[in-house]
Amino acid sequence: MNGTDLWTLAVIAGLAAVTVLTRSFFFMSSKPWHLPGWAQRGLQYAPIAALSAVVVPEIVMSQGQLISTVLDARLFAAAAGAITYFRSKNVLLTIVLGMAVYLPLHLGLGW
């Protein structure tokens, strides 16, 4: 059983505030206003960068080190997932087929 702590609950409350802040960002002020140009262009690139920064280390690192073998279930599952996405444009199918590659390699072969 995992423990609950106040710090995590505070972070969760903060993330809820981030949801309201981002989804309602331009609803807050009734005055017409504009983002500076650099920020507007930066909006194009930040979301994919944030996802990549979270996802890539979760696939290619283990215990804080770059993995030294290609025999890792995560690499194959991620490749299968990416190929699935670009063929089907379906996130759900990406998860399903990625896990269909991951589980046998991870549980069966111990990769």
Q: Is 72 in the site for another protein (CB under 8 A)?
A: no
Distances (CA, A) of 94 to 10, 28, 85, 102: 32, 36, 5, 12
First to last CA, the chain: 26
Q: Please say whether the beta carbons of 105 and 71 come within 8 A.
A: no
Q: Is 57 in the site for another protein (CB under 8 A)?
A: yes
Residues 30-49: x where in contact with another protein by CB under 8 A, - otherwise, as a string? x-------x--xxxxxxxxx
3-state secondary structure 5-43: CHHHHHHHHHHHHHHHHHHCHHHCCCCCCCCCHHHHHHH
Q: Is 71 in the site for another protein (CB under 8 A)?
A: no
Minimum distance, C-beta of residue 103 to another protein, in the bound complex (Å): 7
Minimum distance, C-beta of residue 69 to another protein, in the bound complex (Å): 16
Q: Please say whether the beta carbons of 98 and 104 come within 8 A.
A: no
Minimum distance, C-beta of residue 11 to another protein, in the bound complex (Å): 5
Residues lying near another protein in the complex (CB under 8 A) are found at 1-4, 7-16, 18-28, 30, 38, 41-61, 64, 66, 73-74, 77-78, 81-82, 85-86, 89-92, 94-95, 98-99, 102-103, 106-107
